[in-house]
Structures are given as C-alpha cells and as structure tokens.
Amino acid sequence: VLALARALDARDAYTARHSENVSRYAVSIAVELGWSTDRLELLRVAGLLHDVGKIGVRDSTLRKSARLSPAEWDEMQQHPVLGARMIAGVAPEEIVPWVVSHHERYDGSGYPHNLRGEAIPDGARVLAVADTFDAMTSSRSYRPAMSPLRAIGLIVEEAGVQFDGDVVRAFIRALKSNAIDVRQVELSARTAPAQEQHGSVEGELAEHVAVDPEFRRAEEVVDPNAADAGDDDLAFPTAA
C-alpha cells in the first residue's frame, strides 16, 4: 500500500497533497458519523489511495489545462476502476469498493457504475465530499482555488443530489468543531507552490472558477453567470 502511495506521489506532487487532504477530511467527517477506530484507519488509507488509478491515465489528459475532450473524459473516468484493480489483494478488502465508487453520485448519475443512494458504499460517500471540497479549494494549473466558504455552500446545495445528506451534515459538524479548519484550508491555497498560484483566493471567486473536470456536470454546480449568493449567510467561521 505504501509503495502505491509513493508511486502516486512521484507521478504528480499535487495529487499527493490532494490525497493527504482528502484522507484527513474524510476521517474528520467519519468521526462525526460515529465510525469505529478500526474503520477510521481503513478510511485514512482509502483517502491516500483513492486516486492511485490516475497512474494509468496519460499525462496529456491528467495535466491538461483546457476542457477535456470526450475521449479524454472517458479515459479520466476509468481511474477509479484502475485504482481498485491496483489495490485489490494488497490493500484491506473493505476499501476496494470505496475507491472504485468515490465518484458515484447520490442521485445515480455518477461513475463508473451509476450507483444510487445507499447502494454507494458508505466510505465512498464520505470520500466524495472530502474529495470535492479539496478539489474546489485547491489551485490547479487551469484555475485558482475557490473560496472555502463558497465551496461549503455548493456542497450543502448538493446534499441529496450529488452527496449523501447525512455525510454533508457530518461535514458541517466537522467544520463547526474546527476538525476541518477553514482558515488552514485557505492558507494552504495561498502558500501553494508558485506554479500552482493563479491569483489570490481572497474574495468571492465562484463566478470565475470552473470546478475540476473530474467532477461530472460541473456547469450545474457552478454557474459562471449566476450572482453570488454570498458566504455571509453560512454559519461557519470566516477565513482570515
């Protein structure tokens, strides 16, 4: 398992940071859901390995700075299946379905198997929220980071659609308890390596930011023509 994680680190330094963040956020959410210590450790490992299948995705697709073509999108959608195959037999058996299903959507429109609701393994439902939050609040080659509070608002809007509502509520509790520190999330985006900096994350960036191309139906999550609803309505600590 560690060898796979290190191979992922070597492939893409951003993905390494992303996987570490997803692992940490997912565990914080699962604590709020009352998971046992043993299952929390399994989830920690799953978070580190959830994107390991990207090792099998071409660099030209993985690092493309423009919209993916249909063929490239099809290739990207294979990474959960590739990842599950890679870890099967070497990682704990329970995490394999979590890895293969972390891009499923609660409404059944996700990939790779169009699972719906509680048919999606619980670990995958937790990883989906953690994965999306880190993707939206991190700078990448093709766009700057989104305001953490705006990202939280979008996740809340997608409760019961893209995400399990119970998991979203646990995510909110983790934010309110400071287990997931909004200020640290924004600070990390500000201090990312120079090649990842594409402007400050201060202010409301949602009108100018495209959600990561890994996430299906991005245009339904962020409408660049929509007026910002404002983060002040959300009862979360403000980022300094």
Joined together, the tokens standing for residue 23 give 């692992």
User: Rounded distance, CA 147 to CA 124, Å?
Assistant: 25
Active site annotation includes 176: no
Helix (H), strand (E) counts: the chain? 12, 0
3-state class of 193 per DSSP? coil
DSSP state of 55: G
Q: 54, 125, 140, 150: which is the annotated catalytic residue?
A: 54
- DSSP for 127-189 reads HHHHHHHHHHTS-BTTBPPPPHHHHHHHHHHTBTTTB-HHHHHHHHHHHHTTSS-HHHHHHHH
Residues with a catalytic annotation lie at 54
